């Protein structure tokens, strides 16, 4: 039989039809298998993990067939519970596939500590600028008789004198003992000298001695 006759014959068309059917069925079954094994087209909504602790977040992700990876611990943020999740990626409500890794960052357990530099003999403005740059806050101000006005004589916290190199928690308050600039004045000069005012403009008593 010639080739042209075979291409026009019924057996050829039957064979061609059978081959096409097998191909179509094969493609269909392959797509079904891929959809089943890779969840093709299916998305899982990422839950909100913010402010959850790591155990709670891990359990929630496991229920949704997702994995958690802790990237880092950030500086303590008082607006979040200690050791809770403060950032996550992908963001909540993002659609992802199963077994997707969710990356999180954790809030520290508390404020970190900083080393106190030497503040004595600095002016109050210099000392205040220094502690603020370290994440510390201004506490109370007490004046002591001294020749230099607003010169830092001592710093302390909770009644304890602080020295250079002492570690204090960030966001805590530092109290100051400052010079009043009245040492060496005569009685006549003291009588006319203006009253000492603290940083808030309130009159503050001075003393010749300060107990530490």
| pTM of the complete model beyond 0.85 | no
Q: pLDDT at residue 6 above 70?
A: no
Q: What is the pLDDT of residues 111-163, one digit of tens each?
A: 889 999 999 999 999 999 999 999 999 999 999 999 989 999 999 999 999 99
Average pLDDT of span 169-196 = 74
**pLDDT computed for residue 130 by the predictor:** 96
What structural domains does the chain harbor? 44-107 (3.30.10.20), 113-207 (3.30.10.20)
Q: Which tokens belong to 145?
A: 């008789």
- DSSP codes, 165-203: T-EEETT-EEEEEEEES-TT--HHHHHHSPPPB-TTS-B
């Amino acid at each position: 039989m010639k080739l042209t006759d075979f291409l026009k014959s019924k057996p050829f068309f039957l064979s061609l039809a059978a081959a096409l059917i097998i191909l179509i069925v094969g493609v269909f079954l392959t797509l079904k298998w891929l959809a089943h094994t890779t969840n093709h087209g299916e998305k899982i909504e990422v839950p909100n993990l913010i402010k959850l602790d790591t155990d709670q977040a891990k359990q929630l992700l496991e229920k949704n067939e997702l994995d958690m990876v802790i990237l880092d611990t950030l500086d303590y943020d008082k607006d979040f519970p200690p050791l809770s999740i403060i950032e996550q990626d992908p963001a909540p409500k993002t659609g992802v596939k199963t077994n997707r890794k969710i990356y999180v960052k954790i809030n520290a357990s508390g404020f970190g500590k900083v080393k106190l530099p030497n503040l004595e003999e600095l002016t109050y403005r210099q000392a205040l600028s220094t502690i603020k740059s370290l994440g510390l806050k201004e506490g109370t101000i007490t004046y002591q008789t001294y020749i230099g006005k607003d010169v830092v004589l001592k710093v302390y916290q909770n009644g304890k004198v602080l020295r250079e190199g002492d570690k204090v928690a960030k966001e805590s308050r530092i109290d100051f003992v400052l010079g009043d600039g009245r040492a060496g004045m005569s009685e006549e000069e003291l009588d006319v000298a203006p009253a000492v005012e603290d940083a808030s403009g309130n009159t503050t008593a001075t003393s010749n001695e300060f107990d530490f």
